[in-house]
Structures are given as structure tokens and as C-alpha cells.
């Protein structure tokens, strides 16, 4: 197994320790979360009672193959825990997400959960968001050209995400994704406000003040980054921090 895949697997094994019997889980999308789904599949096979709400069609397919029971937000609007990957994580636990194209559903799921835990390998930790990855922005197809012009006016180099056949890539929501290269983003809160003011923009891959814990896989173990607690090495595999309500995290954003 390549080193980076080993890091992803270690992070997901640690994330599985956050899961308790009877939980309703938000299931993220991507190559890292794949390993978390494998852990959940093993739990289900040993009799653990779990239910998941997937963030994408692809995640739903994998979960079904693993016999993980699924439901929807219509039936379970309150989630105990959401686990997902990220393209970048900064020191304030803000994220860039959306390389897999599921950013809108991922954000809805994260906002619906008592706790939002992110699993990444060590290469995804950055000082400033935008250092390594473009910022995905989901847009309504009807207005994607005006949106591109406005985003370029904000300083981004913008590319329309395309499928292997050259056609625009379409999200599970029927929208397009614009990959926006801003470079390092000094004020992601201000940028998000500008993005949401563009009429065709549905949302962006900026996840601000939403993450409770990031589990970072390294070659020799994992490190836990927790809001307000800095980083520490995981040696005990304990149950993590107490639950933080969504309202508390929202008020924290207002105080920043």
C-alpha cells in the first residue's frame, strides 16, 4: 500500500472509534472516506447498529455493497456524526472541499450533524487555504458563463470541470463545478460572502467554522486537530471530545 493510502487508512480507523452503537451517520465522499466506509462495513458485520446518510450517489453505492443501512435527511434530519475528507485543512480547521464534486450535499450533511469529523492524510494540512488546491464552486448551468466572468473579476483563474468525454461535469444536483484558482486565501470568510453574492453560485467548497476535529494520518500514526485544543498525537484511541452543538459553532463564527 502506498504511503498516502496507509495514512488515509490510519485516519479512518481512528475515525471509526468515534462511532457508537445506534448512531445515525453522515457519510462523506472521496478516496479517503472509502476506508471509513470499509470500517463501518466491518462494524455492521459484527452486529453494530448503524444508519448512514450518504453525500453522493457513489457513496450510496459503496455503502450498499457493504450492507450499511441507509436513510435520507427527510427521514433522519438530525445526525449524530458526519465523517468526510477534505482537499485542504488549515490551522483553524477551515476546509476546502469539493474535488469529488459533492460539496453541496457534504455541506448540508455536515451542518445537520452534532459533530463533523474530517479525515485526511498529512499532505492536506496547509497554513492558508488555497495553497495547493483550487476552490470548487457549484453553479447553476444557466448562469455559469456570467459566474465565470465575475469570479475572474475577483482574481480567480477559473476552469469549468469536465468529464472524460469533454462535456461539462454534472453534479448529483444537476449543477456545474467551477474550479477557481485563487492562490492562498487570506480571508476565506470575506471571500465566501462575495461568492454567495453571485446569483448563479449555489455554494462553494469553503467549509468555515464547521469542523470539530480533523484526524490527520501520518506514516507512523495519526494526529488529532481539535477546535480550541491544538494538535496532539493519538496514542489511546479514545472517544474524542464532547459533542459541540451546531448552534455553538455558528455563534463562534460570528465572534471571529
State the Cα angle at 108 between 208 and 232, rounded to 5°: 45
CA distances from 184 to 62, 96, 203, 211 (A): 34, 11, 19, 20
Closest CA to 95 of 106, 87, 104: 87
CA distances from 178 to 13, 164, 169, 226 (A): 33, 16, 10, 30
3 DSSP assignment: H
Q: Which of 18, 39, 88, 106 is catalytic?
A: 106
Closest CA to 39 of 123, 119, 124: 119
Is residue 5 annotated as part of the catalytic site, yes or no? no
Lateral strand order in the sheet of 79-84: 51-54, 24-27, 79-84, 113-121, 213-218, 221-226, 230-233
Instruction: State the catalytic residues.
Output: 106
Amino acid at each position: 500500500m502506498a504511503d498516502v493510502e496507509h495514512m488515509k487508512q490510519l485516519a479512518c480507523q481512528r475515525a471509526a472509534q468515534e462511532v457508537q452503537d445506534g448512531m445515525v451517520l453522515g457519510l462523506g465522499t472521496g478516496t479517503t472516506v472509502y476506508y471509513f466506509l470499509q470500517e463501518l462495513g466491518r462494524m455492521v458485520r459484527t452486529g453494530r447498529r448503524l444508519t448512514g446518510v450518504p453525500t453522493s450517489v457513489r457513496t450510496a453505492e459503496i455503502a450498499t455493497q457493504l450492507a450499511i443501512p441507509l436513510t435520507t435527511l427527510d427521514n433522519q434530519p438530525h445526525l449524530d456524526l458526519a465523517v468526510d475528507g477534505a482537499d485542504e485543512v488549515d490551522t483553524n480547521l477551515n476546509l476546502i472541499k469539493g474535488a469529488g464534486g459533492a460539496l453541496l450535499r457534504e455541506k448540508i450533511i455536515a451542518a445537520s450533524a452534532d459533530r463533523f469529523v474530517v479525515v485526511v492524510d498529512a499532505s492536506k494540512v496547509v497554513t492558508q487555504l488555497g495553497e495547493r488546491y483550487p476552490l470548487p464552486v457549484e453553479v447553476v448551468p444557466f448562469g455559469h458563463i456570467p459566474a465565470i466572468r465575475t469570479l475572474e473579476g475577483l482574481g480567480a483563474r477559473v476552469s469549468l470541470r469536465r468529464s472524460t468525454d469533454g462535456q461539462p461535469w454534472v453534479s448529483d444536483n444537476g449543477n456545474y463545478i467551477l474550479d477557481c484558482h485563487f492562490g492562498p486565501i487570506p480571508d476565506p470568510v470575506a471571500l465566501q460572502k462575495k461568492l454567495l453574492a453571485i446569483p448563479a453560485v449555489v455554494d462553494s467548497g469553503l467549509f468555515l467554522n464547521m469542523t470539530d476535529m480533523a484526524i490527520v494520518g501520518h506514516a507512523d500514526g495519526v494526529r488529532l486537530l481539535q477546535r480550541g485544543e491544538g494538535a496532539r498525537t493519538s496514542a489511546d484511541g479514545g472517544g474524542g471530545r464532547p459533542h459541540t452543538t451546531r448552534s455553538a459553532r455558528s455563534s463562534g463564527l460570528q465572534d471571529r
